[in-house]
Structure formats: C-alpha cells, structure tokens
Structure 1
Amino acid sequence: MASYIKRGKTWRVFIAKCGVRKSGTFKTKAEAVAWATQEEADILLGKHEQYQDRTFFDLLERYAATVSVKKRGGRWESSRIAAIQQDKLARVLCRELGARHFAQWRDEKLARVSPASVNRYMNILSHVCHVAVNEWQWLEENPLKTVRGPPQPKPRDRRISSEEIDRIILASGYKHDQSPETSRERVGAIFLFAIETAMRAGEIVKMQWKDVDVERRVVFLPETKNGSSREVPLSTEAIRILRQIMQDKGNVFRITVSNLGNVFRQLKARAMIDELHFHDTRHEAITRLARKLDVLDLARMVGHRDLKQLMVYYNATAEELAKRLD
C-alpha cells in the first residue's frame, strides 16, 4: 500500500510493492493517489523492471493479487498464502531461493500441522513457482521440483453404523413426521440426506429450491468442488426429507457450512460418538450406493472423474462382499 506525506503545498507518495520501490511528488493528494494506484497496478502486471531485491514475500503478494483472486476458492488460497508470508521462507530473496529453503520450511511446518495440510500448502507453492518461472521470469527454475512432500496419510475408511445414525438423530430431535425447525433438527435432516445422496456438506448447504425437481427426483448443482455442474438423482428417502421442508424459493436447509459443523459437533457430544466427521457420510453413502449402481453411474452421481478417487470412498466390508457372491 502506498504512503502519503504532505510537504508544504505538495504531496509526496512512496510505493513499495513486489520488490519495486518508487516515489513521486504532486500538487494534490488526489493526483498522488491516482498515480500510485496506476503504478501499483502496473507493478502487479509486471510492467516495471525486475529488481534484484525481490523476496519470496513479493512473489506471493503478486500471485495472490493476480492469480488467486481469479480462482474458485481464491479466498481460501489467499488466506494460506498470507500465512506463508509470515514464515522465514517469505524473507528469502527470489534470486537465492533453492530447494533447501523449501525443505527446511516443510520440516518446520510438519511440527505444527498435519502432513495433509503441508501437502496442500506445497501444492500452492509449486504453482506459485511454476507461474514465476514460465510467465513472469522471476525464477530461473522451480526449486520445489526436487522437494518431496510428506507421505500422505491413509484415507479415512470410517463407516457409520445404524446405531450411530439413530443416536445422532435422537440427539438432533429430528422427527420423520415433522418439519425440522431448529438448527439441530435441520442438521439431523441434513445428516440423513447426505447418507442418501453422497453430497458434500458444501453442496448440501448451497442447495436452492429452484434447482430441485421433485417430480424428476433430481437436484441440479451448478457449482461443485471440481468446478463443474452435475445432477444428483434422489432416492425416495431423500425426496421424503425434502418434502418435509418444501418451500417456494431460497436456500433448502437454511444453514451455513460453519453452523452445520458447529451443530454437528454438538450432536456428536450429545450422542457420545467419537472420531466421526460429517464427511464420513460420503464414505457411507458411496459404499451403500455401490450395491445399487455400476461404477460409472456411481462416479457420475457423486462427481468423481477419477475412478481411483472413487475407491478411496468405497469401503465395503468383507462380509458385505461375501453376501453379494451368493
């Protein structure tokens, strides 16, 4: 951000952005602001000479301002970039940046967060360096190419038992013959709906009535995690849940993702169930649906383009497989 100082009858403006430092003097502050705004925009677009004292902080700043903002989920990425900018890594000059800096950063990060989180950070950093090499010429090569990420933890294979489902529903106060009104009751309904549809929490809370076709038994999701839209077929039980809360317009379940998470944690505590995540409903749903749908139809329903990814969620027990052999 530019800084402004009034000196007598003139305004002095100073810019320090992405390693570029400039200053100017103007008759009015409005002129100074206009100049600074244009100069900062030009810096972000790479129109200024590249300075030798640019740091990795400057590179991250430009990436967040010009690349992250255009992405779906850009706010999430920008918040993680801001966190990296607080680390020692951000103070290293771009011309000195090497694999050893990222390896040290990785090891220090692993002491504070999970391997999965470190891998997500490293994916962001890898693309930052890729853009810096191929589009901006801020780096000669990608120093992350030779840095290994931590081993991925085994995928969760948590199934949800019928008893646990009953206990969650009891804790929520949800009734099969009454419209859910409280947040707890709605989360109970969402829990059952998720097990029927294999939809993600974010997809469920964003559902709009205009996208629900009860007659066709389909809900249209205009925006999903992988960036494409899809239609989700609805079971008889899923339709029953929707009919309980049927309205003409607006959000279907009238709840946010954060509120859903908070209430679900309360329900788990009331039901005395440990080690259960809401996302485990997706594992349970996909495993159940695999008994009814072939693999291609199942992948299309749940929004998986990669069948290997689908296998992460498919957790049939040996006993269940044995019954299907007869």
Structure 2
Amino acid sequence: MRGYDPESMTFSTRKAAKEWIEATEADIRRNLHRKMPGAGVSVAQALDQWADDAQHRIKSFDQDALKIVKLKAWSIELGRRTNGEALTGPLGDQPIDRLSPAHIRALAASMRVKGLAPNTIRLYMAVLSRAWNHVMTDTAFRNPVESADLRLQLPKRVRRLEGDEEKQLLAACLGGFDRVVRFAIETAARQGEVANLMWRDIDFAQRSALLRRTKNGTDRIVPLSQPALNVLRSVPHVDGDGSVFGMTAGAMKQRFADATRRAGIVDFHFHDLRHEAISRLFENTDLTD
C-alpha cells in the first residue's frame, strides 16, 4: 500500500498469496505496520525540512536556498497521456516517496533545455538528493537521484594568467585590492577563506595562517611565503583582531570582477587564482629527488 515500505513473500499457491495480502493490508489499517518515512510529504515540504536543518550547518546555504525555491516551482514531465501528450506539473507538488529515477531524468533533461550547465544541474541534484535522504530515513527505497545515474559530463576548467595578464590585473585593482589578489596567489586560499581571515589567525613567528570555515567545513593551516608575509605587513592593522582584508566574500567577488573588466581580461574568476597558485607550486617543486 502507498506510504508503507514494500514487502514481498513467496507462496506455493495463489490462494495463500491472496490470504497473505489481505492479512497484511488489514494489519496496515490497524496501524500494526510501520508507516514508511516520508509518506504524505511533498518534495517542497522535504526541501523545507532539510533546509531547516541545514541552514545553520552549511556555509554556502544561501546558494542552496535559491535552488530550493527554483526546484519547488520547476515543471517536470510526470508521464504521458494515451494520445502521447506529456503530463507536467511542479516538482514541489509531487510526493517525495513517489519520486522516481524517471522523474529525475526528466528534471535533468528540462534543465538542459533551459541551458543550465552540467555542473549547475549537478548542484541542483545534490540539494534534491540531500532533501530526499533527510526525509526518507530507514527505508527500503533507494534514492532516485542516485538511481537515475545521470552521468553529467563536467567540463574541466583550466584558466591561468597568460602573458602580462597578472601585471594588468594588479594594476587594475583599486583601493589596495591588489593585496587580496597577491595573497590568494601566494596561498591558494579560496575567496571565502581570504574573506574570513582574521588577524588572530596569523602567526608571523611560525609563518602560517589558520584558515577557518573552509570548503569541507574544517579549519586548516597554510604556510606563508615571504611574498605572502609582505602582503600582510603592508595591510593597515587598525582593528585589533578583526578582519585582515575588511570585506566580505561577496564584495571580493564584485571587486575582482570590476578589476578584470578594467584590465580587459575575459573568462577569469577569483577561483582561478587558486588554480594559478597550485599550478605554480607544482612548477616550482623539484620532484626528481
């Protein structure tokens, strides 16, 4: 019956099978069988329940919150009429326990038609998968997102500074923002990690910095090169143990975009500084010993 975990049994006769079915359904009506987790919960409700739990744990939840809104309203193909006409409806209205791999594949196909990149689709699917796992606990059903086996092909992005681009980029950074860019290149720190850096996290004696709230949720210590130390010593230190660079990750993203535009550099984002830093590290490391 809908809303309960599937059960099966093998019988030697049709009569015995029918009697077992009738007895099982009678037990369900008397609430003697455990109701399946997620029964009666819509996809929209499942997304909201997961959001209530995750918003205090996930650093980048604001981005997930936007995806939740769009997922609820996204129209997907639910099936076909006898004349072949597609039946569609909002994903959010569908019962979470009835969500199937076919629905997921239809959702992914619809996103492709709308022009979403494979990595963007993957991020949407990750949110939906987490919501399903949050609600459908201890059930015999398999996560439909995992079962759909979408095999999204994610293009590898390789973009480094070329020619005089680094010089042009630094020259286009206004108001001391070049310090942020130089520090990111020297440490391979992510945008959010640079924005969250506090003076109390800098150990000049040990030539290291503690990066808090990293992408995987843990803190990590990175060594500071002499150029990185020089950058830090050039930053006005007027706020005690406050923020080193004094700006949010969003502000950094905008100022970096402004700088690349002024420098005439195209298709280069803040995260590419991390690729640049890691590439330089390997290029400057002797692996022959």
State how far apart, in whole Å, the 2-side matches of 1:77 and 1:93 are.
Answer: 21
Question: Which runs of structure 2 are paired with 1:110-125 in the superposition (5 Å)?
Answer: 110-112=112-114, 113-125=116-128
Counterparts in 2 of 1:50 and 1:124: CA distance versus 1, 3 Å:
closer
Deviations 1:226-282 (A, max 9, x none): 111111111111111111114143111111111111121121121111111111111
Gaps of 5+ in 1: 1-47, 173-183, 296-323
Paired AA for residue 97 in structure 1 = L
Contact 2:161–2:276 (Cα < 8 Å) also in 1: yes
RMSD: 2.6
SS of match in other structure, 2:270: coil
Deviations 1:164-202 (A, max 9, x none): 011012222xxxxxxxxxxx2332111111111111111
Q: Which residue of 1 aligns with 2:100?
A: 98
Contact 1:222–1:230 (Cα < 8 Å) also in 2: yes
Q: Which residue of 2 aligns with 1:286?
A: 278
Deviations 1:120-152 (A, max 9, x none): 1112222222333324x5x84322232133523
Q: Which structure would you say has the larger RCO, counting Cα contacts within 8 Å and 6 or more residues apart?
A: 2
Instruction: Output the TM-score relative to the length of structure 2.
Output: 0.73
Contact 1:223–1:229 (Cα < 8 Å) also in 2: yes
State how far apart, in whole Å, the 1-side matches of 2:137 and 2:177 are.
Answer: 47
Contact 2:132–2:143 (Cα < 8 Å) also in 1: yes
Q: Which residue of 2 aligns with 1:214?
A: 204
Contact 2:49–2:131 (Cα < 8 Å) also in 1: no
Contact 2:169–2:260 (Cα < 8 Å) also in 1: yes
Counterparts in 2 of 1:78 and 1:270: CA distance versus 1, 3 Å:
closer
State how far apart, in whole Å, the 1-side matches of 2:210 and 2:158 are.
Answer: 28
State how far apart, in whole Å, the 1-side matches of 2:39 and 2:170 are.
Answer: 61
Matched residues, number: 237
Paired AA for residue 234 in structure 1 = L
Deviations 1:88-110 (A, max 9, x none): 21111234322211111111122
Deviation at 1:51, TM superposition (A): 8.8
State how far apart, in whole Å, the 1-side matches of 2:213 and 2:198 are.
Answer: 12
Gaps of 5+ in 2: 1-34, 75-89
Contact 1:118–1:150 (Cα < 8 Å) also in 2: no
SS of match in other structure, 1:279: helix
Moved more, 258-267 or 153-162: 153-162
Contact 1:200–1:282 (Cα < 8 Å) also in 2: yes
Question: Which runs of structure 2 are paired with 1:161-240 in the superposition (5 Å)?
Answer: 161=162, 163-172=164-173, 184-240=174-230
State how far apart, in whole Å, the 2-side matches of 1:157 and 1:147 are.
Answer: 29
State how far apart, in whole Å, the 1-side matches of 2:38 and 2:277 are.
Answer: 54
Deviation at 1:161, TM superposition (A): 2.7
Paired AA for residue 153 in structure 2 = Q
Paired AA for residue 157 in structure 2 = R
Counterparts in 2 of 1:166 and 1:67: CA distance versus 1, 3 Å:
closer
Tell me the percent identity.
27
Corresponding residue to 1:59 among 24, 28, 46: 46
Moved more, 266-275 or 286-295: 286-295
2:157 counterpart of 1:156: yes
Moved more, 198-207 or 48-57: 48-57
2:261 counterpart of 1:269: yes
Counterparts in 2 of 1:197 and 1:49: CA distance versus 1, 3 Å:
closer
